Amino acid sequence: MTIFAPALIGIPPVGLGVYSRGHVGAAGPWRWFTGREWGFVGVEGMHADVWRAHADHALADAIDNGRSGVILDPETPYPASALIALGDWIRDASRRVRVGVTSFPSWAGIELLAERAPRRFWGSPQLYYDARTNAAGWARWRSVFGFRLVPSVAGYVSGPITAPAVAALRGTATGYAEHLASVPRAGGAIVWPNWPMPDYMLDALARRYSGPAALTLVPGATLAALDTIPGMVFLVLVLLAMFAAASVVGSRYA
């Protein structure tokens, strides 16, 4: 991580990413503004009795391979003791990499987890549902994380828990755009895909979440964008330009 890393604790990535086995990163025409992959521990590795080994492995991998951080996906019930232990792990891990947590909107552990590791990680509620459920889920997580949120969104038409009406909506270009409109705007999103994704989904996601305009939607996003090699190069060029301009102005008054 760059010199900006200490200021990025708890700040989510900006732009579009896609879930994959073991990591979250760019796909197709999408690019994270933060530029690097994130380690990802899926729900199978995040059960309350097995999570630590998987999280430790993801953390070591992120450090060894220069990833931006680790995203954890706890979805099953956690006793309070396991939530406390996970919160302590997040607090310690966040001293070395950035940490994010994703789960379905009603997952019961998110408040206690945030209390245990306050402002040390960002959240990504999985908004795969109808507009009303998505809005309620976002509001709940927003009360916990404030601006430190990016939504997880569906890159598929239908899944095991998809309501028929939602599947029908996502089955057309117009309907999918309407579905995305039910997901609150943020500086980015993480897509749970079913490859190959229809072109209309790729296009709609790119229109909604890509581009420099996303930087204006999340406090700290510009700083997050600078936490990359291109960002550092850009910063150096800006500083050189400012120095050159100051030299020209100074010479006029010499």
Neighbours of 220 (CB within 10 A): 19
- Domain membership of residue 57 (yes or no) is yes
3 state DSSP class of 75: coil
Q: What is the CATH number of the domain that holds 162?
A: 3.20.20
3 state DSSP class of 119: coil
| pLDDT tens for each residue of 91-129 | 999 999 999 999 999 999 999 999 999 999 999 999 999
- Domain membership of residue 192 (yes or no) is yes
- Domain membership of residue 139 (yes or no) is yes
- Domain membership of residue 246 (yes or no) is no
Contacts 24+ apart (CB under 8 A), 21-29: 22/58, 23/67, 24/71, 24/190, 27/191, 27/193, 28/202, 29/202, 29/206, 29/210
Q: Which structural domain, as residue segments, surrounds residue 119?
A: 9-219
Pairing of strands 15-20, 23-25: antiparallel
- Domain membership of residue 232 (yes or no) is no
- Spans of the chain, pLDDT less than 70: 1-6, 23, 25-36, 210-236, 238-239, 246-254
Residue 176's Cβ-side half-sphere holds a number of Cα atoms within 13 Å equal to 22
- Domain membership of residue 247 (yes or no) is no
Task: Let me know: does 33 contact 2? Beta carbons within 8 Å.
Answer: no
Distance, in Å, from the CA atom of 163 to the CA atom of 159, rounded to the nearest integer, reads 9
- Domain membership of residue 193 (yes or no) is yes
Q: pTM of the entire structure?
A: 0.82
- Domain membership of residue 201 (yes or no) is yes
| pLDDT tens for each residue of 152-164 | 999 999 998 899 9
What is the tally of structural domains in the chain? 1
Pairing of strands 122-125, 38-41: unpaired
